[in-house]
Amino acid sequence: MPDDLSLRLGGSSKRLHSRKFGDASNEDFAPNNVDLEKEYKASQSNVTTEVYEASSFEEKASSEKPQYSSFWKKFYYEYVIVDKSILGVSILDSFMYNQDLKPVEKERRVWSWYNYCYFWLAECFNINTWQIAATGLQLGLNWWQCWITIWIGYGFVGAFVVLASRVGSAYHLSFPISSRASFGIFFSLWPIINRVVMAIVWYSVQAYIAATPVSLMLKSIFGKNLQDRIPNHFASPNATTYEFMCFFIFWVASLPFLLVPPHKIRHLFTVKAVLVPFGSFGFLIWAIRKAHGRIALGSLTDVQPRGSAFSWAFLRSLMGCMANFSTMVINAPDFSRFSKNPNSALWSQLVCIPLLFSITCLIGILVTAAGYEIYGVNYWSPLDVLEQFLQTAYNKGTRAGVFLISFVFAVAQLGTNISANSLSCGTDMSAIFPKFINIRRGSLFCAAMALCICPWNLMATSSKFTMALSAYAIFLSSIAGVVCSDYFVVRRGYIKLTHIYSHQKGSFYMYGNRFGINWRALAAYLCGVAPCLPGFIAEVGAPAITVSDGAMKLYYLSYWVGYGLSFSSYTALCYFFPVPGCPVNNIIKDKGWFQRWIDVEDFEEDWRETIERDNLDDDSISIYEHEDEKTFI
């Protein structure tokens, strides 16, 4: 190895140096932090480092442990930094490319069509999905009207998920990387941060929903009046000490599972996929049997909506399904990047999402309707019906049945919270700060922040829960609309991989400015969000705040409004102000589809050659650079 080996990462001219210390065999690779460089070199005098590639660094330590002059230096290098392989890489360069962000190679692309079916089978059975279905009953719809809205809503959801999955299937990219194409290299942080925040909020909400089955298990063991025997010292009017205790028990029980690596946690999902369908159908059969085979066929509210009131109740129920999936739509590339072939994530998701979620919601609807027939109460959550089973017949059989069903649904909530929220948050945070945060740390951070959300305020009533869903959809649907327009209309499926991992001048996705911001995406995003803000403020603000009826109706249609306006406004802006890296001159008149199934086995070598250049202005749009690869729709 030469005395002075320098590797330039990107146009910022940051260099990583390796110099001799002592003799020719003792070389050191120091971090960029100037203040700590000397200290680190001194402590690492017995560490041998060989630099193999610009993006791959491996350390080989001798048997002697490095010596640090202070506790804080040791703490920083031993416990704060999680990825020692990128010690010498700046935060900026590790953000641009690391092992978690690189395109998925063939060895890891192992998901066939049936894997996506199993995934959604495990995902659809959870308490939250039941509550979404029951929300339609709260609006005055009868059971079959509510079920129709669910079929339509999740049918649209399946289409949106498939559209969002295509970039992952073709280019094997995760969402943090694919969003760079539409929002810009650095402005892509905004949708990533949005998703992190939503993952934390949803983790908190799902954990609080799981407090109900935990409570039922405790009451099955210690008595149905357990809640009354525990004094309430909780200040919030929407929760008690007992309810918080149940929430905290589930929160603590979840922590060990957050420490399990993602590829090993699949066993939990297998258990969930087996147990939860049996528990759900068992609950349904039990409820119908107690109702003597009868269910309430009409509206469960005092006044059945008619005319325009019925239309808006129908639409709000439909929008609830779509808002419930707002995070999963933009998450889609995170799963589709592992598909074995271009269509593994296509028909399986397009069919399974509406089918499986409609069946799950039907169970929730029928349980609620049977509960109304038995008790004369329109319960929002089907688990409230299970609570009544326990309260009205506290015997051995009921206690055992309630305990087992509650345990199954606690497992369902645990699996949903990990797959949809903690792993999502951990993945995104590790993409932003790979040197300091890995998926495990990000997941634990998500759980810690969930305690600060106070989810009992969001879950106080069905109307507040629906309001929370709509609020999330305002921001996330506008992101999804921009991404869809950019990929399908503007770029026609074309992504230049080497540029999407580069912040050098001339990179298509720096958009001609050093801040890496696509102003068209920002403007379109604001166009999608703005019309729904008045209704949002009126819904979540003080009672004195009032807006027009039209503004509230726009808010009720927040997902369609946000998605449609951001999609159309982004398309219009790109027509009048073309973006770099576009394979067609006129996005309206020109024809062509340039998506390819890309082979990324040698991508790291291509990327390394790209970042060694100071300027990418001379790069052309090489739409035929992968002529040997299969074109697909």
Give the CATH number of the domain where residue 121 resides: 1.10.4160.10
Q: Are residues 63 and 145 in the same domain?
A: no
pLDDT at 466: 56
Distance between CA atoms of 392 and 395, rounded to whole angstroms? Answer: 9
3-state per-residue secondary structure call for 147-170:
HHHHHHHHHHHHHHHHHHHHHHHH
Quick one: what percent of the chain has pLDDT higher than 90? 36
Comparison of pLDDT for 182 and 20, the residue scoring more: 182
For residue 94, the tally of other CB atoms under 10 A from its CB is 25
Structural domains counted in the chain = 3
Are 445 and 425 in contact by the 8 Å Cβ rule? The answer is yes
Name residue, tokens 């990324």: 600
Comparison of pLDDT for 44 and 491, the residue scoring more: 491
Q: Are residues 70 and 122 in the same domain?
A: no
Comparison of pLDDT for 473 and 257, the residue scoring more: 257
Query: For residue 320, which of 523, 471, 217 has the smallest C-alpha distance?
Result: 471
pLDDT at 71: 76
Q: Are residues 351 and 468 in the same domain?
A: no
Does position 527 have pLDDT exceeding 60, yes or no?
yes
Angstrom distances, CA of residue 280 to CA of 137, 230, 267: 19, 30, 20
Average pLDDT taken over every residue of the chain: 81
3-state per-residue secondary structure call for 406-442:
HHHHHHHHHHHHHHHHHHHHHHHHHHHCCCCCCHHHH
Q: Are residues 332 and 464 in the same domain?
A: no
Distance between CA atoms of 419 and 233, rounded to whole angstroms? Answer: 34
71: in domain:
yes
pLDDT at 464: 60
Q: State both tokens at 125.
A: 């059975």
Distance between CA atoms of 458 and 471, rounded to whole angstroms? Answer: 11
327: in domain:
yes
Query: For residue 477, which of 545, 554, 572, 546 has the smallest C-alpha distance?
Result: 554
Q: Which domain, by its residues, includes 149?
A: 106-459
pLDDT at 75: 75
pLDDT at 6: 35
Q: Are residues 58 and 183 in the same domain?
A: no
pTM of the model: 0.80
pLDDT (mean) for 14-34: 36
pLDDT (mean) for 104-111: 87
Query: For residue 503, which of 94, 217, 120, 126 has the smallest C-alpha distance?
Result: 94
pLDDT at 22: 35
* Tens-place pLDDT, residues 239-291: 899 999 999 999 999 999 998 877 677 778 778 888 888 999 999 999 999 99
Torsion angle defined by CA atoms of residues 46, 437, 244 and 217, in that order, rounded to the nearest 10 degrees: -80
Q: Which of 62, 89, 116 is the last residue of a domain?
A: 89
Q: Are residues 569 and 432 in the same domain?
A: no
Are 370 and 290 in contact by the 8 Å Cβ rule? The answer is yes
pLDDT band at 302 (very low <50, low <70, confident <90, very high): low
Are 389 and 405 in contact by the 8 Å Cβ rule? The answer is no
Q: Are residues 396 and 367 in the same domain?
A: yes
Q: Are residues 228 and 309 in the same domain?
A: yes
pLDDT at 164: 95
pLDDT at 461: 61
Are 555 and 536 in contact by the 8 Å Cβ rule? The answer is yes
Q: Are residues 341 and 434 in the same domain?
A: yes
Does position 623 have pLDDT exceeding 70, yes or no?
no
pLDDT (mean) for 175-184: 94
pLDDT at 66: 64
419: in domain:
yes
Q: Tell me which of 4-13, 258-267, 476-485, 540-549 is least confident.
A: 4-13
For 465, the 3-state DSSP assignment is: helix
pLDDT at 27: 36
Distance between CA atoms of 511 and 523, rounded to whole angstroms? Answer: 14
* Tens-place pLDDT, residues 371-383: 888 998 888 788 8
Which strand (E) or helix (H) includes residue 290?
helix 266-290
Q: State both tokens at 116.
A: 């996506």
pLDDT at 30: 37
Q: Are residues 270 and 318 in the same domain?
A: yes
Angstrom distances, CA of residue 358 to CA of 117, 121, 353, 355: 14, 11, 8, 5
Angstrom distances, CA of residue 507 to CA of 154, 304, 408, 516, 610: 38, 58, 50, 9, 10
Residue 231 is classified by DSSP as: P
pLDDT at 326: 85
- Measured in residues, the chain has a length of 633
pLDDT at 274: 84
Q: Tell me which of 73-82, 243-252, 473-482, 611-620 is least confident.
A: 73-82
* Tens-place pLDDT, residues 393-407: 999 999 999 999 999
Bridge partner list, 1: none
596: in domain:
no
pLDDT at 44: 46
Does position 431 have pLDDT exceeding 70, yes or no?
yes
Q: Are residues 160 and 219 in the same domain?
A: yes
Classify the C-alpha dihedral 476-188-509-439 as positive or negative: negative
Does position 580 have pLDDT exceeding 70, yes or no?
yes
511: in domain:
no
Angstrom distances, CA of residue 241 to CA of 227, 456, 457: 9, 12, 14
Are 47 and 61 in contact by the 8 Å Cβ rule? The answer is yes
Phi-psi domain of 22 (left: phi exceeds 0; alpha: psi -120 through 50; beta: other): left
Does position 8 have pLDDT exceeding 60, yes or no?
no
Q: Tell me which of 11-20, 439-448, 591-600, 612-621 is least confident.
A: 11-20
Provide CB contacts within 8 A for 237, sequence distance 6+.
Answer: none
278: in domain:
yes
Q: Tell me which of 237-241, 266-270, 361-365, 384-388 is least confident.
A: 266-270
Query: For residue 503, which of 490, 493, 513 has the smallest C-alpha distance?
Result: 513
C-alpha R_g of the chain: 27
617: in domain:
no
Does position 353 have pLDDT exceeding 90, yes or no?
yes
CA angle at residue 104 from 101 to 105, to 5 degrees? 135
Residue 25 is classified by DSSP as: E
Query: For residue 446, which of 413, 472, 422 has the smallest C-alpha distance?
Result: 422
Does position 177 have pLDDT exceeding 60, yes or no?
yes
Does position 506 have pLDDT exceeding 70, yes or no?
yes
pLDDT at 126: 81
496: in domain:
no
Does position 117 have pLDDT exceeding 80, yes or no?
yes
For residue 586, the tally of other CB atoms under 10 A from its CB is 10
pLDDT (mean) for 83-103: 75
* Tens-place pLDDT, residues 186-199: 999 999 998 898 88
pLDDT (mean) for 159-174: 93
Burial 564-577 (b: 16+ CB within 10 A, else e): ebbbbbbbbbbeee
Q: Are residues 385 and 474 in the same domain?
A: no
Are 291 and 125 in contact by the 8 Å Cβ rule? The answer is no
Q: Work out the end-to-end distance of the chain between its first and last CA atoms, rounded to an integer number of angstroms.
A: 48
Are 287 and 135 in contact by the 8 Å Cβ rule? The answer is no
